[in-house]
Chains A and B, each alone.
Chain A
């Protein structure tokens, strides 16, 4: 919190990422300049292969850029080594994947505890459990702590993954197609969760290729061929809570008929 509140939490300048596969060079991201402020809720859209995942992985410090600058909370990521990147991921970032990426044969609570395992300073066993339980309640799965991922539905697994991303109280929540494997209703529920989290102050950046989903975000960035082609803030933003209420009504009517 040493930075002035005006400093963007994410700053990209001419960011580029090139993959070298044999003879062929693939410019997955080329020259993205972007600023994301604290408290924003950004959807990154674009066709398949447009470089959305590459951009997100770079933002998530899972991958390093080829050229350009990336400042996370004012810190230049380019100069950091693997250990420092790990600390950054642990402390400032939470990542949610399309395929959930939970540890199999490991209970929901233990999955959520995982980032705290690697926190510095060390989190005690009791604090770890307590914070994991809190996170689980926040995503609305309070009673499922000892379920294994295989015993949970896709939506529930994604909630566990979101709880895991939240448990270390990150600045930014990054999600790459978090609703990609979920049905419409569950997708809206997940968006509702994101909206709630965003209202409580967390910056959310998510990838989606569905306009319906992007409509729940405050800002929409569109990419094509590794570049940002549009960056808008729609004023007809949807509320997931209202949408679910509407869906419930429709369903109630249908079951009466």
Chain B
């Protein structure tokens, strides 16, 4: 059994040498033939890498919203059929936020939020930015770190202290390279002491710059900036991912009850479930990756047909060679193996160059786009597997044709 196996291996090896020599003789043609596979494999690898990269980027953006986060937005205000966007209506109060903290199970933290746009003045410059009123738990909920200084405390929230944590954008606009911590900034003529500087987070899901804001205690914001008792939203962090759906249901029924909404009325608020968004985004980007990959794999099939075409030409061209080989004792299996190995070598060669090109292309895309393309070993293995299968599949017919030649006819072929 072992000797039989080693004979088989030796035979395949010897036949591979013949096949390789034939390919080397026609270098240019071999390369052009492999081009179809090269393009196919390169585009599969690159497309999947770009798709994966985009997906990873979106996923990280979604999780940057904070972990296990439910955001309760006030409904949108309507005036004459024109919607002013979520959070614009006056429906959610501080009492609602407190009720959520008190009555919904598995709540880890609750952060009421108000926001408005205002002019911030400091250091002799001014900058129009978002003034967000938040609780002391806000940074923890959003999984947001400070570059310098500290967040305001629960105590400062309760006392409506005039303290602020500044985003990197206004910090840069107002103070340039200076450290803003310890400086003062005026909003609506009220001086705030800057006690912290936020780490830069970049563009958010909607593309807006998350760094362009100044965070102050929501109590201070309600009292001195917005001047009303309604909230834009409430961020609710749930203890575990599994409990998010139940918590969402509980919040819904709690708020409906508190707002005295009967069965016929729609909710006057909206709840954004971060996990749901993440799931949706994930499945969408998976579909896109799959779509890109399958479009690219069409070119693999086209490449395979190219190989079949050239192999058929090659069999016809080398009819006499085949005749000579058969005449000196090559068995049909030897001839079949020789042409099959030629086809597989062509497609594997194409696969190898294709993977290199694909990785290169992904790197290029990564440089141009604002995310890194992720080349997966899975897609490389798949590309190799598929190209060798293509070689065998599309090489089989020409190889069979060569092996079936009648030696006399083949030797007489001109």
Contact = CB atoms under 8 A, between A and B. Distances in A.
B329 A168 contact: yes
Interface in A80-113: 82-83, 86-87, 89-91, 95, 97, 101-103, 105
Interface string B393-414: 0000000000000111001000
Contacts of A91: 329
Contacts of A60: 327
Contact of A121 (B7, B333, B408): B7
Contacts of A118: 325, 328-331, 334
A122 B321 CA distance: 21
Interface stretch (B10-18, B63-71, B142-150, B278-286): B10-18
A215 interface: no
B332 A89 contact: no
Residue among B11, B323, B408 with the highest chain A CB neighbour number at 10 A: B408
Contacts of B320: 101
A114 B332 contact: no
A62 interface: yes
B330 A86 contact: yes
A57 interface: yes
B324 A101 contact: yes
Nearest to B320: A101
A119 B329 contact: yes
Contacts of B334: 86, 118
Interface residues of B, number: 24
B8 to A, nearest CB: 10
Contact of A83 (B14, B323, B332): B332
B326 A86 contact: yes
Interface in B1-39: 7, 10-11, 14, 18, 25
Nearest to A84: B331
A138 to B, nearest CB: 17
A86 B18 contact: no
B333 A95 contact: no
A97 B330 contact: no
Residue among B325, B327, B331, B406 with the highest chain A CB neighbour number at 10 A: B327
Contacts of B324: 101-103, 114
Nearest to B330: A118
Interface in A118-136: 118-119, 121-122
Q: Classify chain A's interface size.
A: 20 to 34
B321 A86 contact: no
Nearest to A168: B329
B408 A89 contact: no
B328 A90 contact: yes
Given A101-B324, A103-B324, A122 B10 contact: yes
Contacts, number: 63
A120 to B, nearest CB: 8
A105 B330 contact: no
A168 B325 CA distance: 14
A58 to B, nearest CB: 10
Nearest to B11: A122
B11 A89 contact: no
A164 interface: yes
Contacts of A101: 320, 323-324, 327, 411
Interface string B106-136: 0000000000000000000000000000000
A63 B323 CA distance: 12
Contacts of A164: 328
Interface string A46-65: 00000000000100101100
A63 B408 contact: yes
A125 to B, nearest CB: 8
A122 B333 contact: no
Given A62-B407, A82-B332, A89 B327 contact: yes
Interface string B328-352: 1111111000000000000000000
Contacts of B25: 105
B215 to A, nearest CB: 77
Nearest to A90: B329
A100 to B, nearest CB: 10
B325 to A, nearest CB: 7
Given A83-B333, A101-B320, A114 B328 contact: yes
Nearest to A86: B331
A224 to B, nearest CB: 22
B29 to A, nearest CB: 14
Nearest to B411: A101
Q: Which 3 A-B pairs give the minimum distances between C-beta atoms? A: A90-B329, A115-B328, A86-B331
Given A82-B332, A101-B327, A103-B324, 19 more contacts: A57-B408, A60-B327, A62-B407, A62-B408, A62-B411, A63-B408, A83-B332, A86-B332, A86-B334, A89-B327, A90-B328, A105-B25, A114-B324, A114-B325, A115-B328, A118-B325, A118-B331, A118-B334, A168-B329
Interface of A: 57, 60, 62-63, 82-83, 86-87, 89-91, 95, 97, 101-103, 105, 114-115, 117-119, 121-122, 164, 168
17 contacts: A60-B327, A62-B408, A63-B406, A63-B408, A82-B331, A83-B333, A86-B334, A89-B327, A89-B328, A91-B329, A95-B328, A97-B411, A117-B14, A118-B329, A122-B7, A122-B11, A168-B328
